[in-house]
Amino acid sequence: MSAFTAVKVLASGPFAGRSSSGDKAAASAWIGSSSCRILRPFHPHQPFSSVSSSSPSILRPIQAVSSSDVLSSKIEPNSPLSNLLITREEALDLYEDMVLGRSFEDMCAQMYYRGKMFGFVHLYNGQEAVSTGFIRLLKKEDSVVSTYRDHVHALSKGVPARAVMAELFGKATGCCRGQGGSMHMFSAEHNLLGGFAFIGEGIPVATGAAFTSRYRREVLKEANCDYVTLAFFGDGTCNNGQFFECLNMAALWKLPIIFVVENNLWAIGMSHLRATSDPEIWKKGPAFGMPGFHVDGMDVLKVREVAKEAIGRARRGEGPTLVECETYRFRGHSLADPDELRNPDEKARYAARDPIVALKKYVIEHNLATESDLKAIEKKIDEVIEEAVEFADASPPPPRSQLLENVFADPRGFGIGPDGKYRCEDPGFTQGTAEV
């Protein structure tokens, strides 16, 4: 029996995989783009039985072909369809989410240059297909963990635009009361577990959230608990120890987590190829015992198909998946990045593959909606963003008394003062200092 290997599969026939939503899998309906490969691993029999109650069907019928076949084969962008990949409602939802992400980020840039927000702001322009493709499939109870490039993940997960904008302006009405900022978006209500400034830091947290899901199902016996966790991170993070440590633990304990790599080829100014011995990140999944997928991250429909597979696997208790999305950020690493190193040709190539434009083309060509439907959505989003800015502008900044709040979950953590009472009980405490 061979060890874990990954092969490239020509996705010319209908998908052999199962989707939990049971939808139609039409491999031929790709949005026009030159390279469309979905690379699936050969997933061998697990040597030990898992604690999971579902009986996983392990071997999938897949076609193994050589890479030259893949590269030379032509996939017709507009081949005759028997089935569409999405319904009209889904199409409009995807479109609206991506336009929201794009418009929001563009507004952030404007506000930053007008001096309304400060510090490090990392924009997501160009990568919308990944966030929308994955997060719109989730339930409210599923968790998302992100990085410093987290505004659009927050929006896709359902955090209101006004709460995110107010947080960016540093106002008390922000989703984190102005205490987090651009890189630390959290929402307990929407199960957005952050927003982390150091790369790789969120991956163990995501692994822990997935662990809780399994724990609740098996130890606390909550039979309905099939919540999954998505961990988003970039190509640079894939050279970090925490990434590998968590791949190991997630596969070891078959945690319901999906590791989503947003490979935009650049870690600030460091090209992925210069930093990584084997740049094909999807291959690292099978090395730890989980499937590794590579998908065109500029195409929301392809991302969505792969996401459905991976999320379905996790919900059924079959364990984690690694998905590498080839994507690109249209702007610099952050608003402070002059972005001088990237080749203009490369940028132009990816700009031509703008996910929003591509989805629009697909929707119109397949008569899922009209131009005016889409224009209406764009107008609606413009209004949402305007309102968010007005709300943020009008909101008050945090008062002085907020400085010492939330440092400890239990403010008795500030200790007992010289007078024998807990310092937090002193009414003048919030005007004082936090030193102990």
Partner 1 sequence: MRDGEDVGHYGGSYKVTKGLATKYGDLRVLDTPIAENSFTGMGIGAAMTGLRPIVEGMNMGFLLLAYNQISNNCGMLHYTSGGQFKIPIVIRGPGGVGRQLGAEHSQRLESYFQSIPGLQMRQPVVLFEHVLLYNLKERIPDEEYVLCLEEAEMVRPGEHVTILTYSRMRYHVMQAAKTLVNKGYDPEVIDIRSLKPFDLYTIGNSIKKTHRVLIVEECMRTGGIGASLRAAIIDNFWDYLDAPVMCLSSQDVPTPYAGTLEEWTVVQPAQIVTAVEQICK
Binding site for partner 1 (CB under 8 A): 51, 143, 145, 174-181, 184, 186-188, 193-198, 201, 203-216, 218-219, 241-242, 245-246, 248-249, 252, 405-410, 412-423, 434, 436
Choose between 75 and 424: whose C-beta lies nearer to partner 1.
424
Nearer to partner 1, 120 or 215 (CB): 215
Task: Kindly tell me which of 114 and 400 has the beta carbon lying closer to partner 1.
Answer: 400
Least CB distance to partner 1 at residue 53 (A): 14
- Which residue, 141 or 383, has its beta carbon nearer to partner 1? 141
Cβ at position 130, least distance to partner 1 in Å: 21
Radius of gyration of the chain measured on its C-alpha atoms: 23
How is residue 62 written in tokens?
């897949």
Closest CB to partner 1 among 160 and 279? Answer: 160
Cβ-contact 126, 328 below 8 angstroms: yes
Task: Return the structure tokens found at 270.
Answer: 């460091």
Q: Give Cβ neighbours of residue 410 (< 8 Å, ≥ 6 apart).
A: none
Question: Residue 420 CB, nearest distance to partner 1 (Å)?
Answer: 4
- Smaller CB separation from partner 1, 131 or 213: 213
Say if CB 151 and CB 157 are below 8 A apart: no
Q: For strands 38-42 and 5-9, give the pairing.
A: antiparallel
Minimum CB separation from partner 1 for residue 315, in Å?
16
Shortest Å, Cβ 201 to partner 1: 6
CA 311 to chain centroid = 13
Give the shortest CB-174-to-partner 1 separation in angstroms. 7
Residue with tokens 């364990």: 319
**Shortest distance, CB of residue 427 to partner 1, whole angstroms?**
18
Respond yes or no on whether the N-terminal peptide bond of residue 195 is cis (omega within 30° of 0).
yes
CA nearest neighbour of 34 among 349, 367, 361: 349
Please state, in angstroms and rounded to a whole number, the distance separating the CA atoms of residues 228 and 212: 10
- Nearer of residues 174 and 234 to partner 1, judged by Cβ: 174
Task: Output 19 or 179, the one with its CB closest to partner 1.
Answer: 179
Q: How far is the CB of 197 from partner 1 (least distance, A)?
A: 8
Closest CA to 235 of 201, 268, 211, 195: 268
Report H helices in 276-299: 284-288
Give 194 or 319: the residue with its C-beta nearer to partner 1: 194
Nearest distance from C-beta of residue 146 to partner 1, angstroms: 13
Tell me the C-alpha distance between 432 and 418, whole Å: 15
